[in-house]
Structure 1
Amino acid sequence: MTAGNGSGGAERPSRSGRRPGQSGAREAILAAARARFADAGFDKTSVRAVATDAGVDPALVHHYFGTKQQLFAAVVELPVDPEMILRNIDSAPLNHLGETIIRAALGVWDSPAGPGVVAVVRSILAGSDDPALARTFLLDIVLERVRKRIATPEDDGRTRVALVASQMIGVLVGRKIIGVQPLAAMPAADLVAVVGPTLQRYLTGDIGQERA
């Protein structure tokens, strides 16, 4: 019962359409971002649009979450900043992209952050999370930068990165969720040696896309 709650209080009314910095603003931003990312994808979602949906100033979105990419990571509850992985992939020579991608992924999956990644994948497979968010993460964030590097005027690379995504999902599910042996116990270096060349072929080799 504070004095400011009475009808005669002198407090200025809060501005319509804008939430104060507290009072659930962070949760409202996450809910708005989840809906936007699921409906429009990563590229077509702006921080300003998320802020409008949440009823906050765009500066508050940046205050809580930093970049749009970090906001997405928070939405899907990723335990690691994707930029940490992407920097390594960006700097890899084109002819070593396959092994770099699988090595970077294994570095996360086998790290203390790994159980959080597995939990996210389990929730998607169980139908308790929106698969559109997983597609957005894989194709619009992680692999889009790779696609741009391998794209040519004749081949935009979308089929290639989709094949890479399918391979990575299979390895993750087999190694960390189902526990297929010997995949689950295989040393990371051995797995890189086996899977890396397959990813490389998907990215830069012959995948039989020639059209008559």
Structure 2
Amino acid sequence: MLDRILSKRIVPVVVLDRADDAEPLAVALLAGGLDIMEITFRTAAAEECIKRIAARFPEVLLGAGTLLEDEQVQRAKDAGAVFGLAPGLNPRTIAKANAIGLQFSPGVMTPSDVEQALSLGCKLLKFFPAETAGGTGMLKALAGPYGHTGVKFIPTGGITSGNLANYLKLPVVAAIGGSWMVDKQLVNEGKWDEITRLTREALAAAAAC
């Protein structure tokens, strides 16, 4: 999983209200060159969206985000997600993910969070909310004492096309999580060509870092 993420360096954070938007969105992202996505468990449609994409597009590295409870972790795995993420660090959900073989990236914001994550065997961590929590300055500070452990971060929260390069230039950053290329309004209005265009632009910007 880490190799796939490192090759693209962008994880689109997707919120889907309608299951019927799942396949067209996957097509739009693939047309833009991106075969990774995180579908958040913030809507009632999330589980069905994951099922549909997993069934039709097995080439997509499909993740489930905002996993806050054990049962969500199980449902995400059963639906076809191959990795999970959370905004915070909950040892119970990490244990559940480990038990069922779902690669899991908990959210961290502080040195204590990072140490707890490492103690639980997690080295690919979501840094959230990135901009509010200090942005690249905070990540540089965390890299000092923890970089040698092999920890990598996926900063999410406030990442845009305008600041993604600042994050991706940091060795401790594996990828960024962003939603501008899969903006909810674009999805709801079915602007798939625009999503493809924004995805291509994002990947080109990431490749230049």
TM-score norm. by structure 1 comes to: 0.29
Higher relative contact order (CA 8 A, sep 6+): 2
TM-score norm. by structure 2 comes to: 0.29
The structure in which a higher percent of residues are strand is 2
The structure in which a higher percent of residues are helix is 1
**Structure with bigger gyration radius:** 1
